[in-house]
Amino acid sequence: MKLAIIIGVVVILFVVFILASYIKAPTDRALIVSGLRKNPKFVIGKSALRIPFLQRVDKLELKMISVDVKTKESVPTNEYINVNIDSAVKIKVGSSKEMLEKAASNFLNKNEDYIRNSVGDVLDGNVREIIGQMRLEDIVQDRKMFAEKVQENAAPDMARMGLEIVSFNVQNVTDEGNVIENLGIDRVVSISKSAQISRAESERDIEVAKANATKQANDARIEAETAIAERNNELEIKKQELKRAADVKKAEADAAYEIQQQEQRKTIEITTADANIAKQEKEIELREKEIAVKEKTLDADIRKQAEAEKYATQQKADAQLYQRQKEAEAKQFEIQKQAEAKKAQAEADRFAKEQEAEAVKAQGIAEAESIKAKGLADAESIKARGLAEAEAMEKKAEAMAKYGKAAMTEMIIKVLPQMAEAIAKPLESIDKVTIIDGGSGENGVGTFSGNVPSVLAKTIESIKETTGFDLTEVMKANTYDAKTTKNVNFTGLPEEMSAAAKEPETDGKTE
């Protein structure tokens, strides 16, 4: 455990040591490691290690620095003309080891402003020195030469500081007496004068050249026209000679052509006659060949047609025979299949009929049992109903005998509503009723509405005449008038009949 702790502490210390020792320099800055070694170590654009507490690290700027060199006071040239020059200079630390060591001894850990101020005085002095060695016109006209001289003159001083001049550019040159401006005016006038002289000389030369050119052109034109005329004459003579020779040649050619034409016509006529004879002979020979060909063709066509008809007849007969054989086989096969189908149908019909007979038999047995059971049930029902009706009739007869008129009254009272309904039934079919006053002084509506009670009263009167039973007397039996005047009273009536008998009295009271 202790060993692991020691190892961990050692590793941590080693990592801390590495981190503290590690340095890294960019490309525009040099890190200078010094301490243990005699000569310092320059680190540029790479990394390195340094021993903490024993070595130190210093910085040196390597980037390019711009310096504005401007003479503070006027400086006389070698012509004693005071001028002022403004220039821009680019400097940087030299890349050689010697230059780095010198720059480190002068500008270690210094910033750009310090370097710019240190170099400005040196460059200003060199510019003044070069101005005193040159003429004003040379400075103005050849600024590049002036810059090169300043660089050459300042290079040793810069090298002693470990620096080098990258570029030197003259921005502006001025003087106090406007000498440069006057030089410019003189130069302008001189140039203008030279330009005018040159222009006059050029115009003169142009005129002379034009005259010479005109003369030469005229001479050349005359010579050319003379030569052209001579050549035209020669050409005309040559044309006449050529025409004469051409006419001779043409005459000779025309005569030769006529002779040749006659010879050719004769040859053509002879050749045409020979050709006609040969043509007739060829036509005769061709006709003979055509006749032979036609004979052979007719012979071949008739023979081929006969053979084709024979072959077609034979093929047709074979086809018909084959068709009849196939039709017979198909018919035989169809008959066989029909017989097998009829046999199968007969078997199926027989089985179906057997099944149907079994079903009818079973259904008949079931229906017989059902009819038997139903008959027994109906017989029992009729028997029970008959016994019940007989018993009811017997009871009813006993009641009729017991109650007499009271029973009859009950029966009539029960059918009275049905009688009233039957009497009013015809009125249901009436759609519209028009009532006209008969002139008797009675209201027609009352006459119409009293029709139904009148018919009902006449019905009760008819019952009295046919049966001798007076329903009105029975209904009045329990009234006060019947008990006091006629002394009519019924006894032995049930409560329902008594209530029915009392209803007319109640209705009479209401009215």
Q: What does each C-alpha distance from 139 to 81, 173, 180, 182, 185 come to in angstroms?
A: 12, 8, 10, 15, 17
pLDDT value, residue 506 = 40
pLDDT value, residue 36 = 75
3-class DSSP state for residue 171?
strand
* Sequence letter at residue 393: M
Cα separation, 117 vs 65, in Å, equals: 11
Q: Which two tokens stand for residue 63?
A: 């980037």
CA dihedral 230, 231, 232, 233 (to 10 degrees): 50
Contacts of 151 (CB under 8 A, 6+ apart): 165, 168
User: Which superfamily is assigned to 63-177 in CATH?
Assistant: Band 7 domain (3.30.479.30)
Domain boundaries defined on the chain: 1-62, 63-177
3-class DSSP state for residue 74?
coil
pLDDT value, residue 406 = 63
How many Cβ atoms sit within 10 Å of the Cβ of residue 123?
Answer: 23
Q: H-helix or E-strand containing 166?
A: strand 163-175
Tens digit of pLDDT at every position of the chain (511 positions): 778 888 887 788 777 777 777 788 888 888 888 877 777 888 888 877 777 777 788 888 888 899 998 888 888 888 888 888 989 999 999 888 888 888 888 888 888 889 888 898 889 889 989 888 888 888 888 888 998 999 999 999 999 999 999 999 988 888 877 777 766 565 655 666 676 777 777 878 888 888 888 888 888 888 888 889 888 888 889 888 888 888 888 888 887 878 887 888 878 888 887 888 888 888 888 888 888 887 777 777 777 777 777 787 888 878 888 888 888 888 888 888 887 887 888 788 778 777 776 877 777 677 767 777 776 777 677 777 767 776 776 776 666 666 556 666 667 777 777 776 776 666 666 666 666 655 555 555 556 556 656 766 767 776 676 666 666 666 666 555 555 554 445 454 445 444 444 444 444 333 3
∠ CA 432-433-438, nearest 5°, is 160
pLDDT value, residue 450 = 62
Contacts of 432 (CB under 8 A, 6+ apart): none
| Predicted TM-score of the model (pTM) | 0.35
Cα separation, 61 vs 6, in Å, equals: 43
